[in-house]
Homo-oligomer: A and B are copies of this chain.
Amino acid sequence: MTLAARRVILASVISCSLSLGTTVAQAADALPSWNEGQTKQSIVDFVARVTKQGSPEFVPVAERIATFDNDGTLWAEQPLYFQINFGLDRVKDLAPAHPEWKDKEPFKSVLAGDLKTALAGGAHSLIEILAAGSTNMTTEEFDRVALTWITTAKHPKTGRLYSEMVYQPMLELLAYLRANGFKTYIVSGGGSDFMRAFAERVYGIPPEQVIGSTGKLQLEMREGKPVLVRLPALDFFDDKEGKPIAIQKHIGRRPIAAFGNSDGDLQMLQWTGAGAGTRFCLFVRHTDAEREWAYDVSPLGRLEKGLEEARAKGWTVVDMKKDWKLIYPFEKK
């Protein structure tokens, strides 16, 4: 046996031992931040059913695809989607180079701290704000900017990094599914490259499993090297009907489990639930005004049709206040 082969074996044994350790730990109680009850039980039952060899409900590993919305499902989304805060901060950072913004909405109001006026123009104003600091730059420049923001900017209410405001029970759920052979994906209205700046480190979800909204890209040669320039033009909006479409384009097979928190996720859950065999659909419902926020309807979105359909179809609905022992990892003692 060659030295290279020996090295390969050693690496495999080490990696196997590590994965064994993880798996056994998971088997004890993989979801310690979930209170015992129907919600937690529905998750554990589903996973047991689709992973039981020889059972008619068994699903091969390759088909164990689980898709997660991000805003309000994996991390908080109040009082504004975190990516909007990123956009607002970018406008402030770039203002010195754009003296014309002092007299031009929505920038004028952003810089004056008057958010209500800044966003009065609706989606159009919002897109202008987001595009200002995220486009007309290369993908590599954007990656640096997004990474800097996500590792330094603080949430106005908690004073924590935005990436600390992920839901501990959902982190456990992601890890639990992966330990059971699932491939976990984000399918979100947020920007793909924005989410990729933290998804691997925070959620354990690699860039290639992050599906989001995208802007148009243009390949250019600069100093003899190709760069991809982010253009100020929407390419794909990954919400509502867009979610099943994005799943087909990127994954090419139907998930067997899907997780969301608003009517914008309903089509993804319908698409998932309509497949043959055992399927799992779950909505996170924001019911905890003290530890997080309580809302079905907010300026960001609504969970109404989704709740109706969840009731009709027996989907799982998480009651955050009742079902979750912890909301954020930083609450751990």
Contact = CB atoms under 8 A, between A and B. Distances in A.
Contacts of A245: 217-219, 228
A171 B12 CA distance: 23
B24 A251 contact: no
How many copies, total?
A: 2
Nearest to A195: B252
A38 interface: no
Given A217-B245, A270-B226, A206 B62 contact: yes
A9 B245 CA distance: 37
A193 B193 CA distance: 25
Interface stretch (A15-23, A127-135, A290-298): A15-23
Nearest to A196: B252
A5 B26 CA distance: 9
A241 interface: yes
A233 to B, nearest CB: 13
Given A207-B251, A245-B219, A226 B5 contact: no
A226 B244 CA distance: 9
Given A12-B23, A219-B241, A214 B251 contact: no
Contacts of A214: 249
Main secondary structure, interface of A, reads helix
A11 B244 CA distance: 33
A250 interface: yes
Contacts of A7: 53
Interface of A: 1-2, 4-5, 7-9, 11-13, 16, 19-20, 23-24, 26-28, 48, 53, 62, 65, 139, 183, 192-193, 196, 200, 206-208, 210, 214, 217-219, 225-226, 228, 235, 241, 244-245, 248-253, 267, 270-271, 274
